[in-house]
Chains A and B, each alone.
Chain A
């Protein structure tokens, strides 16, 4: 038998190795992760990248949806108020059209209709956190301006026809706005134009073309209600998409946990074995140190 000249260094190397193994196993137990470096499991690390990316997209969409819901709700609320105002205007116009009112009463109704028009105009210029919601992409300035210098008065649209959409993680496209001219000044169902006509009809104490304009206003009211459905649908779809994204994020997080979590029972057993090996190695090294050639010299 030949003597191993590296006996001690091999023992030391073995001790280093068990120490490193013990540290790794302890880290797995404390972190709950089966690996901490990509080299330990490249495939799982790559899958984790994909999962993190998808989770990030879901979370990002959920945050965006939360911010956007506020704007859609303000838009819906504004359109709801417009519907209320238009119903009131139709009642007044119908009353004026029945031919029993005096010139003074008709003039008064004209003033009330002008008030309603101003209120609808104000709703058409609704602003949410600095953004005019009915301006298309021209959100920095009020989209509608009233010119009262003519009879009937006229309304100018300063926005554009741009429609913004939000893409859900599922690829679904959700409409976020309706250009104001599509709602308030659309040819044939011109809300503000018809209101201006009605104001002018009754302003002089007569009825003018009040009956015809009242019919037009009823058509405009129905049209606004239809447009409101688009926003309502967007709110519903946004809520559904947000819930789906949250649910998917939860599932992906669970998949990530399953992919990376450490098997505590197995790691504990390995740790116990490693500790036993380490103790044995330390004992051997300690026993070697108990007797040396110097002890012989002293004797």
Chain B
């Protein structure tokens, strides 16, 4: 699986699960708000019906802070038992048998490890590309020694061919002048 897919998949799963647990916990805490609305206090968040996509779909639906249900069911508005219960969730294993803090910490660790792994793989692949290029160049790129050798060879051939033409020229001149050697222009 591609790193990018893993990254988005795993983190989305983490967030969806956490979001869903928050919503379920909230829905289970029937209670009383500051206006004395006993048992019918509105939710702070909306409540999608399934885990997948919860993190993306969650939104705050409460508009009046007086409607936060801090009091327990059947208690007066000055009661704080529901707020205390909500605060206690911070130390309870409510998400995947972990506390919210540990769950989030693990998500950060997983995300960081994935990013680190991706960076390492990127570096390794870059090194691999460089190595392969070097190997290819060792076989197919311009070899200065070969080129120098060939150049020397061609130069010598050229010189030899030139010498042949010089000799032929001299022979032809001698033939045309009936054996008298003269300079040929």
Interface residues of A (CB under 8 A from B): 1-6, 10, 37-43, 45-47, 49-50, 53, 57, 131-132, 135-140, 159-160, 162, 164-167, 176
Contact with A along B107-148 (1 / 0, CB 8 A): 011111111101100000000001001100110011111000
B109–A4 CB distance below 8 A:
no
**CA–CA, A178 and B39, complex, Å:** 25
**CA–CA, A135 and B133, complex, Å:** 82
* B88 contacts across to A, CB distance below 8 A: 167
Interface residue tally on B, bucketed by range? 35 or more
B108–A2 CB distance below 8 A:
no
CB < 8 Å: which of A3, A38, A165 contacts B108? A38
Evaluate whether A131 and B78 lie within 8 angstroms (CB atoms) in the complex, with A40-B116, A167-B88 already known.
yes
* A49 contacts across to B, CB distance below 8 A: 101, 104-105, 108
* A136 contacts across to B, CB distance below 8 A: 76, 78-79
CB < 8 Å: which of A1, A43, A46 contacts B144? A1
**CA–CA, A212 and B7, complex, Å:** 80
Give min CB distance, A3 to chain B, whole Å: 4
**CA–CA, A43 and B106, complex, Å:** 9
Top 7 A-B residue pairs of the complex, sorted by shortest distance between their CB atoms: A42-B112, A39-B115, A139-B78, A137-B76, A137-B79, A46-B109, A38-B112
Given A1-B144, A42-B112, A140-B78, 17 further pairs, Cβ under 8 A: A3-B137, A42-B109, A42-B110, A42-B115, A46-B112, A47-B105, A57-B90, A137-B71, A137-B79, A138-B77, A140-B76, A140-B77, A160-B75, A162-B78, A164-B80, A167-B84, A176-B80
Residue of B with least CB distance to A51: B105
In the complex, B87 has a CB within 8 A of chain A: yes
